[in-house]
Amino acid sequence: MANIGFIGLGIMGKPMAEHLIRGGHTLFLLTRSGVSEDLVALGGIVCTTPQEVAQQAEIIITMLPDTPDVEKVLFGNNSIAAGLTDSSEVRKVIIDMSTISPLATQQFAIKINELGHDYVDAPVSGGDIGAQNAALTIMVGADEAVFSKVKSILELMGKQVTLIGGNGAGQVCKIANQIIVALTIEAVGEALLFVSKAGVDPEKVRQALMGGFAASRVLEVHGERMINRRFDPGFRIELQQKDLDIVLASASALGISLPNAATTHELYNACVAHGGAKWDNSAIVKMLEKLANHEIYKRTE
């Protein structure tokens, strides 16, 4: 059993840390808003700085909102890097499970390697439900040897844990996921809106299409939400918007033109302008509805 640090105990991080404790590990915990009683009751140990976490644990997991947050925890004041320097005789592993820039990730990994430690990027998909059920999909960027060392720990939190490639590859895979999910939601929105404004029952169409090439998890799950007008998350608009920020900034840096990701990002901006930051990401259809001056509704009862 290992000493594991866990920084960032939000809606995702808290259940993930809990699975690790229940898996028999000793957890060193830190989060901005204070560690919850539950985790302490289970045996979690509260720390006061990233530096302290990095001194105590041999594996340090971060689960934070965005790139600058990870950078600060890794290299800011009283940082993980400071803690690693204090304990330079042991080769420790940093696992960043946040969704952040793949280009920044590669730079972070190089710096951590230069300090004599290992880096793993391991962003997840599956949302808070996946985190609670230890059913996350985890996309890993790491050296194979390092991956072998931490695989069993990741498997306490996720069902599908895949090594995609070296450092950054986990984040690249997550970007691909976010492009496809956002654009497929937008596509399903265009299609169901067309159907409804043409006077046809969108639910019958959705069911008919599930048998052919239009079939997707998004048509199944998000399509149903659009038709039944249930826009409570799920995955929030503001997070989808932030992830598309990362997508487009990375595409700009790599010299790639992503026309539909760009257009779709603008529609998420519009959602936020209408107070939709906390809506489910399927609510992008509301912006298409505004333009068409028509709201999707079911014909069948």
Tell me the catalytic residues. Answer: 174
Q: Which residues have C-beta within 8 Å of that of residue 22, sequence separation ≥ 6?
A: 42, 156
- Comparison of 152 and 160: residue with beta carbon closer to a second copy: 160
Nearest Cα neighbor of 123 from 144, 141, 138, 142 is: 138
H or E element: which one contains 264? helix 259-273
Contact status: 186 vs a second copy (CB under 8 A): yes
Pair 143, 166: CB distance under 8 Å:
yes
Contact status: 230 vs a second copy (CB under 8 A): no
- Comparison of 14 and 222: residue with beta carbon closer to a second copy: 222
- Comparison of 42 and 273: residue with beta carbon closer to a second copy: 273
Name which position in 265, 279, 280, 296 contacts a second copy (CB under 8 A): 265
Interacting stretch for a second copy, rule CB under 8 A, among 59-67, 68-76, 85-93, 214-222?
A: 214-222
Name which position in 151, 197, 224, 278 contacts a second copy (CB under 8 A): 197
Name which position in 129, 198, 229, 295 contacts a second copy (CB under 8 A): 198
Pair 68, 33: CB distance under 8 Å:
no
Q: Between 116 and 135, how does the x/- string for binding to a second copy read (CB under 8 A)?
A: ---------xx---------
Q: What is the number of alpha carbons within 13 Å of residue 20 lying toward its C-beta? A: 28
Q: Between 132 and 171, how does the x/- string for binding to a second copy read (CB under 8 A)?
A: -----x-x--------------------x-x-xx--xx--
Q: Which residues have C-beta within 8 Å of that of residue 253, sequence separation ≥ 6?
A: 103
Pair 101, 208: CB distance under 8 Å:
no
Give the C-alpha separation, 175 to 71, whole Å: 19
Interacting stretch for a second copy, rule CB under 8 A, among 41-49, 57-65, 114-122, 212-220?
A: 212-220
Give the C-alpha separation, 250 to 116, whole Å: 28
- Comparison of 13 and 223: residue with beta carbon closer to a second copy: 223
